[in-house]
A and B are shown apart, each in its own frame.
Chain A
């Protein structure tokens, strides 16, 4: 279930005064099992890029292969969209049906599954996002709290049992606790859906959860890094204009005050500090 992107470019409203190059010659691969982060400033082309993954935007130039399907050629939309689950920003704004159960069942029903299968998947998805199926199934999605609405919307995508889950800023607009809950939920989902792609502006989230990170800037790929490569390298960080995640920032402050610690992630920083303690104890 990999996503192979080769020389992908995209231009909005070509040949008009509104022309805008959104993607410029992007090449990288998202491997099976990745928790893949995509970061970049607003307008850097992140959303345009992920909209390619399930065929919402047609390939204009370059090539894109998702799970062996060449998106430049003719293919079965339903099959692809069932496999690549897409959760957009503020997914709760897509809720529409009278009850939570029917709303979550919308995706599986569109896949043409049997009633029993739809029901089974709906129950599974609602339980997966940490809600009680029997308590919530007959309620209107519009009378839920913000956090619950987002979970229901997420369940609506998970009910299709995707193999790749793409999330566009899943924690935007939530309070710190809601953010944490959603992220832990995504981590749990990863056991069922092996590949996850996440856009986020929050470097803490990116560094804590992702194993590889692509950095976009003005439609161009600035590189694909591991968290420690990216946040351990101040040159790259300053050049791209990113904010450091909290652990890396603490490490930087410590270094500036003469404490020799290296580390970009929480684990690395803890190890480094513990090692330092060991040195002092000895």
Chain B
């Protein structure tokens, strides 16, 4: 159970770790938006583009985003493997979706390899499936770099500050943030507690690893009941502790760590702007860049 390290904070001393959580959250949002600016094959072809043009501009745009991600990972000093590990959670989902997209592609297609009923294997389908896979993988890796380099407390603090405007329309932003940070804070504690109880029951020869699904689910009862009891006890204790330290919500509350934007955030901003511009340049063909590169690519192939 200790191995739920996916996207968990990875302590290191790096510029990315030191960046303002608010800036990082905004950058990640920009990063996600950027990924969706790249059109699908179908959309591009319907817009009157050539398949070759699509391949070049999509490859270039994805390339720029990957370059940005690699730069960010390098600056963060988080091992690349840690970031790649986040893919594991969605790997099966993405691969199955990609295969389905390739086999049942129903969009514009001029390069049909094989067709039978609703099954269409086309070059367009293959490209569409693989761009979707790349898009989703990148979609998972960006935010996981955020959680790897930002502690949960910083993250919720940053979110609270960013969502501040909502409190003007009576949404309890602070309360939501504190609930989130308590929940996040308690996850490792509960895992540890579950581990302890599990060990205690294992010492009484409880068997968690054999039998069918129902048997295994039933075997978890001796762990879940004590865990539930102890979470209620813990919640009570925490409420008393907060009360006795005069906690009374957001009103008049100051912060121990005041968030400050610094030069690192400026560097981040510049990088993400350059990346965004690069992506747009290829997607919308600014200065005819995509055309020039496409023609060059065709000439190389020919």
Contacts and interface: CB of A to CB of B under 8 A. Distances in A.
Q: Label chain B's interface by main secondary structure.
A: helix
Interface stretch (A87-95, A173-181, A211-219, A220-228): A87-95
A156 B2 CA distance: 27
Contacts of A96: 221-223, 225-226
A213 to B, nearest CB: 23
Given A96-B221, A110-B206, A160-B204, A88 B226 contact: no
B222 A88 contact: no
Nearest to B200: A94
B207 interface: yes
A88 B204 contact: no
A106 B222 contact: yes
Nearest to B224: A96
A81 interface: yes
A91 B10 CA distance: 33
B225 A88 contact: no
B205 A160 contact: yes
Interface in A1-50: 13, 17
Given A17-B10, A94-B197, A54 B222 contact: no
Interface in A62-92: 77-78, 81-82, 85-86, 88, 91
A94 B201 contact: yes
A51 interface: yes
Given A88-B199, A96-B226, 17 more contacts: A17-B11, A17-B12, A56-B199, A56-B203, A78-B207, A81-B204, A82-B205, A88-B200, A93-B196, A93-B230, A94-B204, A94-B226, A106-B204, A106-B206, A110-B206, A157-B204, A160-B204
15 contacts: A17-B12, A56-B202, A77-B205, A81-B205, A93-B226, A93-B229, A94-B201, A94-B226, A96-B221, A96-B223, A106-B201, A106-B222, A110-B204, A110-B205, A110-B206
Interface string B225-241: 11001100000000000
Most buried by A among B12, B199, B200, B203: B203
Interface residues of B, number: 22
Nearest to A56: B199
Contacts of A78: 205, 207
Contacts of B225: 96-97
Contacts of A54: 203
A263 to B, nearest CB: 38
A30 B163 CA distance: 60
Contacts, number: 62
B222 A81 contact: no
A140 B141 CA distance: 49
A160 B197 CA distance: 18
Contacts of B11: 17
A17 B203 CA distance: 30
B226 A156 contact: no
B205 A107 contact: yes
Nearest to B82: A16
A157 B207 contact: no
Contacts of B223: 96
B203 A110 contact: no
Contacts of A209: none
A278 B286 CA distance: 107
A172 interface: no
A111 interface: yes
A86 B198 CA distance: 13
B226 A85 contact: no
Given A17-B12, A93-B226, A142-B229, A86 B221 contact: no
B226 A95 contact: yes
Contacts of B203: 54, 56, 81, 85-86, 88, 157
Contacts of B221: 96
3 A-B pairs closest in CB distance: A110-B205, A86-B203, A107-B204
Contacts of A81: 202-205
A89 B141 CA distance: 40
Contacts of A156: 204
A110 B11 CA distance: 42
A142 B229 CA distance: 9
A81 B229 CA distance: 26
A78 B206 CA distance: 9
